[in-house]
Amino acid sequence: MKHLLKLLDLSTEEIIDILNLADQLKYELKHGIPHPHLKGKTLGMIFQKSSTRTRVSFETGMYQLGGYPLFLSSNDLQIGRGEPVQDTARVLSRYLDGIMIRTFEQAEVEALAEYGNIPIINGLTDFCHPCQVLADLMTIREFKGSFDGLKMCFIGDGNNMANSLIVGGLKVGMSVSIACPKDYRPPKEILDFAAKYDNFEITDSPAQAAKNADVLYTDVWASMGQEGEAEKRKKAFAGYQINDEIMSVANADAMVLHCLPAHREEEITAKVFEEHANEIFEEAENRLHAQKAVMVKLMA
Ligand code: CP
Ligand code: NVA
């Protein structure tokens, strides 16, 4: 594994290896055991979109590993004034030991990897959010003990989160069901991947997708960059909500996850959110541990 560009590129074994190392690093952090695997290394973090979790967890994670993180806002980089990503990649490769990038186009992340010669980590694109789903898988295994026999259900937009959850969930052996409006299904590349699995289901009925689910997941109806479509999307996604009715068809001990930020009373009710806050915030914490594992695997 040279980069983390999308989960489609990773084998099941590579995913499980990252989760195991993440568990170990979490244990070490909680027990005050130092783990300076990246002493003297630097990570550049390019952000073309806002972030709370990704920025702070990568920055503190790099510090805990003994390395140095640089926050690079696209407003300040020449990339924001049109310098090609291909040139940015070749320059930054000479200063840094790794780059995390959050941007719009997946192609931009792939170009960084192609033109640079250091590990590239995708911190979210419109296409996928692999770091988030590694933390999600870590959280599911932590709460449920294993992935065996689990059904994960995603309700909402066929967006970056849905895409990575489908790929990650199926690769670790869970059943995956997706409920989204017909016009907001995941892209062909993801559906073609999922079609190879007989434990994948896509429907426009949230209740059908949630039936007997062990894990329920949702995300905002309008992602970063889609703010102008917010009103149209509110109409299209009405009913695609995790609420008491949906919880009643899932398994009694179903867990609820959300990548955050959450919009209460849109994709999830405040009641269900608060009832599952311990899972949701453990999930947010696990971003730190999972990404530290990714950085160690790629940069140590
Ligand atoms: N879930 C997530 O990626 O959060 P941020 O946008 O705050 O980084
Ligand atoms: N789908 C959301 C995820 C945020 C972590 C977005 O892209 O804005």
Can you give the CATH number for the domain in which 215 is found?
A: 3.40.50.1370
Q: Is 217's pLDDT higher than 90? A: yes
Each residue's pLDDT tens digit, 50-89: 999 999 999 999 999 999 999 999 888 999 899 999 999 9
72 touches 100 (CB < 8 A): no
Residue 131 annotated among the catalytic residues of the structure:
no
Among all bound ligands, the one having the nearest atom to the CA of 224 is 2
Q: Is residue 2 assigned to a domain?
A: no
Task: Say what the pLDDT of residue 74 is.
Answer: 86
52 touches ligand 1 (CB under 6 Å):
yes
Q: Does 90 share its domain with 162?
A: no
Q: Check if 223 has its Cβ closer than 6 Å to any atom of ligand 2.
A: yes
Tokens of 197: 């699995």
Q: What is the pLDDT of residue 80?
A: 86
In this structure, is the dihedral angle defined by the CA atoms of residues 139, 142, 144 and 150, taken in order, positive or negative?
Answer: positive
Report the atom number in ligand 1 closest to the C-alpha of 57.
8
Q: Binning pLDDT at 50, 70 and 90, where does residue 132 land?
A: very high
**Together in a domain, 53 and 162:** no
Q: Is the model's pLDDT at 262 over the cut of 90?
A: yes
3-state secondary structure of 159: coil
What pLDDT is stored for residue 233 in this prediction? 98
Question: What domain range is 182 assigned to?
Answer: 132-283
Residues 131-169 as b/e (b if ≥16 CB within 10 A, e otherwise) read: bbbbbbbbbbbbbbeebeebbbbbbbbbbbbbbbbbbbb
Residues 293 and 257 in one domain: no
Q: Where are the alpha helices (DSSP H) in 145-276?
A: 160-171, 188-194, 206-210, 230-236, 244-249, 270-275
Give yes or no: residues 17 and 114 share one domain.
yes
Calculated CA dihedral for residues 96, 101, 105, 106, nearest 10 degrees:
80
Give me the DSSP letters along 250-281.
S-TT-EEEE-S---BTTTB-HHHHHHTHHHHH
Q: Which helix (H) or strand (E) holds 121?
A: strand 120-122
Q: Which of 136, 287, 289, 291 is catalytic?
A: 287
Count of residues in the chain: 300
pLDDT digits (tens, 9 = 90+) for 4-37: 999 999 999 999 999 999 999 999 999 999 999 9
Question: Residue 75: its pLDDT value, please?
Answer: 87
For residues 269 and 292, membership in a common domain is answered with no
Note the pLDDT of residue 264: 98
Q: Is the pLDDT of residue 294 over 90?
A: yes
- Ligand 2 centre to CA of 29 (Å) is 28
Tell me the average pLDDT across 115-140: 98
Mean pLDDT of the chain: 98
Name the more confident of 74 and 232: 232
Is the CB of residue 259 below 6 angstroms from any atom belonging to ligand 1?
A: yes
- Is residue 103 domain-shared with residue 138, that is, in the same domain? no
Identity at 34, one-letter amino acid code: P
Left if phi > 0, otherwise alpha if psi is -120 to 50, otherwise beta: which for 265? left
- 162 occurs within a structural domain: yes
pLDDT tens digits, residue range 171-213? 999 999 999 999 999 999 999 999 999 999 999 999 999 999 9
The pLDDT score that the predictor gives to residue 4 is: 99
Residue 1 lies in a domain: no
The count of structural domains within the chain is 2
Asked if residue 143 and residue 77 are part of one domain, the reply reads: no
pLDDT for residue 121 is more than 90: yes
Residue that the structure tokens 């924001």 belong to: 80
Alpha-carbon distance of 96 to 299, in angstroms, equals 11
132 is a catalytic site residue = yes
